[in-house]
Amino acid sequence: MTELCDLTATELAGKLRAREISAVEIVESSLARIDAVDTHVQAFLTPTSDLARDRAKAIDEQTAAADTSSEAAGIPLALKDVLSTKGIRTTCGSKILESYVPVYDCTAWARVSADGAALLGKTNCDEFAMGSSNENSAFGPVHNPWDLDAVPGGSSGGSAAAVAAGEAVWALGTDTGGSVRQPAALCGVVGLKPTYGLVSRYGLIAFASSLDTVGTFTRSVRDAALLLTSMAGKDPMDATSLDRPRTDYTLGIDEGIRGIRVGVVKEAFGEGVEPGVRASVQRAIDGLEDLGVSVAEVSLPHAEYALSAYYLIAPSEASSNLARYDGVRYGLRVEGKDSIEMMTKTRGAGFGAEVKRRIMLGTYALSAGYYEAYYGQAQKVRTLIIRDYEQAFASFDVLVSPTSPTTAFKIGERADDPLAMYLSDVFTIPANLAGTPAISIPSGLDEAGLPVGLQLTAPVLGEPTLFRVAHALEREIAFEARPPLLGA
Amino acid sequence: MPVEIDIDHVAKLARLELTDEEKDRLRSQLGLILEHAAKVGEVAAHDVRPTAYAIPRSNVLRPDDLTPSLTQEEALANAPETEAGRFKVPRIAEVD
């Protein structure tokens, strides 16, 4: 049965404004769903139900007095546990930060909170956002609501699963190489990675600073636009945040897409893409032509080098960013006879296998004698990928591809093969390298009944067009399936 | 060919304690990953400029105003060990 927690934020805000329902009812509906399913899904690491209830009461009192609130007011939200929350434990899915309690809020959550959203809790993720399956969390895996034996994707697996299971109406995640879009695809929800710098990274615990973005999980494209509207904008606390005027991204989303030029990324339909994924995305593309858009093939010739470049650049930045976990200012400390031994033992005990792998990879790629061949070359490939996009966007308004080559795979299936795991992000990584916005929307189910994601990519700051096309396509596809876990 | 790397040297640079089993596994996994990653050398010519940030910005300035910051207590709140309002660490240098 569909309950309040299964509706979109847009629908709930409408009912709230019409006084059909209260914020308390919405939040209680989400909390009841969490009680019912989270023992199976295990999306949450730290629930904050009291905070959510208090916020809902405050919103109801405020709404009774005056009707000036944001559409986000009273809507239950989950936050990936790499986003700092003042006074609420923030672990990054790591033993090294198991009892870390930030003394400030990240800007993204601070802004959404100021608009009245109700925090349900912090969600599980791959350790320090490194992974594509959520299996790298020090606190156990998350289970995909569509198949509890399968991964939800990663690294923002908890946020994706929570939205798919109706535990949260929407959620924030982070996307460095696909960590919002890939789990959104595998869980059948909408995942947005905005233009790099559009949302402040202040308080996002750093993985790879030149690639990290804060993104959204929602059950509709309009909800993604709404959440981005709340978060976006210049922040003096992040020097890389873009100086853009506040924009309402929901405006014009409904204007239709007649005349839009859609490029189908040739390289994203080749070897390694499951037939079920290819068929579902192709069906959606065929539907596009009925909407009055022109569709043609486009090539991103250097896309095949993106994965290699990413797995040099991201670990290099990570090895530098994660140097701060030294047992001195915060986090775990393992005693040693001197400071160096203390640091070395602390890091050995506190980090998990994938984080160690990337620290070692990055340290090697930046070390004397290897820097030019690896890190230096990868940065040049990044330039070539940006040029590919510039050429493609000279002829097309948006590009379309599958989000990930496969649907959700079984827990444990790729755990011992890092290269196979890294391939999950082969279509999402180029947008991070080029800084462009991209969105994943559900295009249907494969023959096993698992969701398939379709990715749209627009030029830097092309969010208005991205939302317009995604919104039109979402209507055309009319994805209404629900995870079996929730019943008919 | 998988790339051969000196695991002990890299682990020392990274200040990362690894067990022998971890070293063996990393030696083979990193060798394979680097073999794949070396593809970047195939296309990036010397006339291509490197990109550090996709959306470059320079001279990001702000007014030099006083704003509230963390208190000493807040800054030390998560420290494993403190003394007299400071972070405390094991001995760094030998003293006579």
- Residue A280 annotated among the catalytic residues of the structure: no
* Interval A113-123: pLDDT, tens: 999 999 999 99
Q: Among A23-32, A60-69, A449-458, name the one with the lowest average pLDDT.
A: A60-69
Is residue B45's pLDDT more than 80?
no
Strand-pairing partners, residue A264, are A297, A400
Joined together, the tokens standing for residue A4 give 């309040």
**pLDDT at residue A418, as a whole number:** 84
Is residue A345's pLDDT more than 90?
yes
pLDDT band of residue A290 (cuts 50, 70, 90) is: confident
* Interval A85-96: pLDDT, tens: 999 999 999 999
pLDDT band of residue A417 (cuts 50, 70, 90) is: confident
Q: What's the angle, vertex CA A277, arms to CA A271 and CA A280, rounded to 5?
A: 135
> In 3D, which of A356, A374, A369 has the Cα closest to residue A319?
A356
- The answer to whether A309 and B44 are in contact (CB under 8 A) is no
- Mean pLDDT score, A472-481: 96
Nearest to B79 among A239, A329, A376 (CB): A329
- The answer to whether A55 and A27 are in contact (CB under 8 A) is yes
The amino acid that residue B76 corresponds to is L
Is residue A68's pLDDT more than 70?
no
Q: What is B1-42's CATH number, 1.10.3470, 1.10.20, 4.10.260, 1.25.40?
A: 1.10.20
Is residue A139's pLDDT more than 90?
yes
- Mean pLDDT score, B68-75: 94
**pLDDT at residue B96, as a whole number:** 63
- The answer to whether A451 and A188 are in contact (CB under 8 A) is yes
For A414-467, the DSSP string reads TTT-HHHHHGGGTTTHHHHHHT--EEEEEEEE-TTS-EEEEEEE-STT-HHHHH
How far is Cα A57 from Cα A35, in angstroms, rounded to an integer? 20
Contacts of A332 in chain B (CB under 8 A): 80
SS3 state of residue A264: strand
pLDDT band of residue A488 (cuts 50, 70, 90) is: low
Residue B24 in contact with partner chain A when CB distance is under 8 A: no
Distance from CA of B96 to the nearest CA of A (A): 16
- Mean pLDDT score, A294-308: 95
- Residue A122 annotated among the catalytic residues of the structure: no
Is residue A127's pLDDT more than 90?
yes
Which is more confident, A350 or B4? A350
Strand-pairing partners, residue A173, are A215
Burial of B78 (0-12, 13-18, 19+ CB in 10 A): middle
- Residue A155 annotated among the catalytic residues of the structure: yes
Strand-pairing partners, residue A410, are A150
Cβ separation of B77 and A103 shorter than 8 Å? yes
**pLDDT at residue A292, as a whole number:** 87
Is residue A157's pLDDT more than 80?
yes
Contacts of B92 in chain A (CB under 8 A): 338-339
How far is Cα A464 from Cα A221, in angstroms, rounded to an integer? 11
Q: Among A60-69, A141-150, A416-425, B65-74, name the one with the lowest average pLDDT.
A: A60-69
Nearest to B15 among A344, A365, A377 (CB): A344
Is residue B52's pLDDT more than 80?
yes
pLDDT band of residue A132 (cuts 50, 70, 90) is: very high
Is residue A487's pLDDT more than 90?
no
Is residue A397's pLDDT more than 80?
yes
SS3 state of residue A76: strand
Nearest to B14 among A103, A319, A436 (CB): A319
**pLDDT at residue B57, as a whole number:** 83
* Interval A40-66: pLDDT, tens: 999 999 999 999 999 999 999 988 777
Q: In chain B, what is the straight-line distance between the N-terminal and C-terminal CA atoms, in Å?
A: 52
Joined together, the tokens standing for residue A348 give 């050995």
Nearest to A384 among B48, B60, B70 (CB): B48
Mean pLDDT of all residues in chain A? 96
How far is Cα A273 from Cα A186, in angstroms, rounded to an integer? 14
Joined together, the tokens standing for residue A152 give 């939800």
Residue A345 in contact with partner chain B when CB distance is under 8 A: yes
How far is Cα A301 from Cα A96, in angstroms, rounded to an integer? 41
> From the CB of residue A368, how many other CB atoms can be counted at a distance below 10 Å?
6
Cβ separation of B80 and A353 shorter than 8 Å? no
What are chain A's domains?
A: 4-256+462-486 (3.90.1300.10), 304-378 (no CATH)
* Interval A202-251: pLDDT, tens: 999 999 999 999 999 999 999 999 999 999 999 999 999 999 888 999 99
Is residue B43's pLDDT more than 80?
yes
Q: Among A19-33, A105-119, A439-453, B38-52, name the one with the lowest average pLDDT.
A: B38-52
For chain B, which residues make up each domain, given as ranges? 1-42
Distance from CA of B25 to the nearest CA of A (A): 10
Backbone angles phi, psi at A217, to 5 degrees: -115, 125
- Mean pLDDT score, B37-61: 88
Cβ separation of A305 and B48 shorter than 8 Å? no
Residue B82 in contact with partner chain A when CB distance is under 8 A: no
Is residue A447's pLDDT more than 70?
yes
Q: Which of B12, B17, B46, B61 to mutate to test the interface with A (most CBs of A within 10 A)?
A: B17
